[in-house]
Amino acid sequence: MSLVDTENLDRERLRMADWPHTIPHDLKAKLETLDGFRNPPGNQDRWGAIREWLVGHGVDAPEQLPAAPERSARDLGHSTRPRR
């Protein structure tokens, strides 16, 4: 591991030290509510609940948050043809 990698790792550890080690109670309750629905929640449902919680608590998204590429509307797999 290079010196730069070590510095980045140390910086990341310091940032993570401020985070709680358990899921906050209100977020845990929201996720448990999702799990109680008749249709099990998908990843998008869970992410939506987490993102809503973060925004509601004033947590900004990191600048370089890794994300999958967004899918265009044509790639959603709908079986109906678009109206003209």
Q: Are 50 and 27 in contact (CB under 8 A)?
A: yes
| pLDDT band (50, 70, 90) for residue 66 | confident
Q: What is the mean pLDDT of residues 50-64?
A: 88
- By 3-state DSSP, what share of the chain in percent is helix, strand and coil, each rounded to 5? 50, 0, 50
pLDDT in tens, 17-44: 777 788 999 999 999 999 898 888 898 9
Considering the chain, what is the average pLDDT of its residues? 80
| pTM: predicted TM-score of the whole model, two decimal places | 0.60
Q: When comparing pLDDT for 62 and 56, which is higher?
A: 56
